[in-house]
Amino acid sequence: MSIRTRLPWSGRWDDLPAAHAAAIFFDLLCVGGLFLLGRRIRGPTMGLALAYAWAAFPFTLYAMNTNSNDALVAALLIAVLLVAHRPAARGVVGALAGMAKFAPLALAPLLLFQRPRSWRFVAAFAATVAVVMIPVWAQGDVGLFYDRTIAFQNGRDAPFSVWGTWHWPEALRTVVQAGAVLFALAVAVVPRRRDVIGLAALAGAILIALQLGITYWFYLYVVWFFPLVLVALIGQDAEPPPPAPEPAAEPARSRPPALVTSSG
């Protein structure tokens, strides 16, 4: 039985059944990932709350109904939180999220300084990016890749952003973009809550800051940061893991009492 038969569609875009199947799959990954993450933080109750919040949010339904791949970014960022305690896995999944949509690349400094720190994060991140870029290296035209991705997006206009609707000054947009970059660098090193709740809160804030400065903004981009915001808000009262106890100092050896001799 073909995908078209399994996924009938009576509206528009009937010629994209595979894209609709992919959108459903990405959505289910987000539901399952949020449940696992919530169960790890506070138990099954929080897992169910996170999964239900994702399924009930209208913008996640928009992403699925429009056959978009934006939920893939959300699923990969949820996976980043799930493997945050493993530097190499954190590097691999963080790089995949950034290569799916370039915005999550701004999370690299934050993920780099997330504990435990290790050179394995940098090696895994760089290796993953290199592997994903193999088709570009094989094509031999990096300039074309840049023109079709970053340059193309930077030149697009959209009525859903303040820059596309009211055409605010370009200099102001540059200031907002520079502020977002400085914010992403600053929060990577400032003292903060170091557990997965703190990581989710700052990662969501970075993505929101970046989206404030782009001209081509679409409401489907809300799902990029939505799971991070969910984890930060619902899990904010979860107790952070206690610090590892320091090794107890070795007790000082007591000296044997001196012998008392009698004089006669």
pLDDT tens-digit map of 144-175: 888 888 888 877 877 888 888 888 888 999 99
CA atoms within a 13 Å half-sphere pointing along the CA-CB vector of 258:
3
Q: What is the mean pLDDT of residues 97-111?
A: 95
Q: What is the mean pLDDT of residues 203-231?
A: 94
- Domain annotation covers residue 122: yes
Q: How confident is the model at residue 121 (pLDDT cuts 50, 70, 90)?
A: very high
Domain span at residue 138? 17-234
**For residue 40, what are its two tokens?**
């790890």
69-78, 196-205, 251-260: segment of lowest average pLDDT: 251-260
Q: 261 by DSSP, 3-state: which? A: coil
Q: How confident is the model at residue 250 (pLDDT cuts 50, 70, 90)?
A: low
- Domain annotation covers residue 152: yes
Q: How far apart are CA 40 and CA 31, in angstroms?
A: 14
- Domain annotation covers residue 244: no
The backbone torsions φ and ψ at residue 212, rounded to the nearest 5 degrees and listed phi first, read -65, -20
Contact by Cβ (8 Å): 38, 235: yes
- Domain annotation covers residue 258: no
Residue 264: per-residue pLDDT: 41
* In the predicted structure, residue 204 carries a pLDDT above the cut 50: yes
- Give the predicted TM-score (pTM) of the model: 0.84
Q: What is the mean pLDDT of residues 98-118?
A: 94
- Shortest CA distance to 101 belongs to which of 217, 16, 18? 217
The backbone torsions φ and ψ at residue 184, rounded to the nearest 5 degrees and listed phi first, read -65, -35
**For residue 213, what are its two tokens?**
């400065």
- Domain annotation covers residue 210: yes
Question: Residue 262: how many CB atoms within 10 A of its CB?
Answer: 4
* In the predicted structure, residue 253 carries a pLDDT above the cut 60: no
Residue 6: per-residue pLDDT: 62
Q: What is the mean pLDDT of residues 92-119?
A: 94
Count of domains for the chain: 1
* Mean per-residue pLDDT over the chain, rounded: 86
Q: Which residues of 6-32 are buried (b: 16+ CB within 10 A; e: fewer)?
A: eeeeeeeeeebbeebebbeebbebbbe
- Domain annotation covers residue 253: no
- Domain annotation covers residue 87: yes
* In the predicted structure, residue 19 carries a pLDDT above the cut 90: no
Residue 149: per-residue pLDDT: 86
- Domain annotation covers residue 256: no
Contact by Cβ (8 Å): 122, 230: no
Show Cβ contacts of residue 20 under 8 Å, excluding neighbours closer than 6 positions.
Answer: 7, 9, 13, 67
Burial of 203: CB neighbours in 10 Å, binned 0-12, 13-18, 19+: buried
- In Å, the largest CA–CA distance within the chain is 117
Residue 18: per-residue pLDDT: 77
Residue 262: per-residue pLDDT: 45
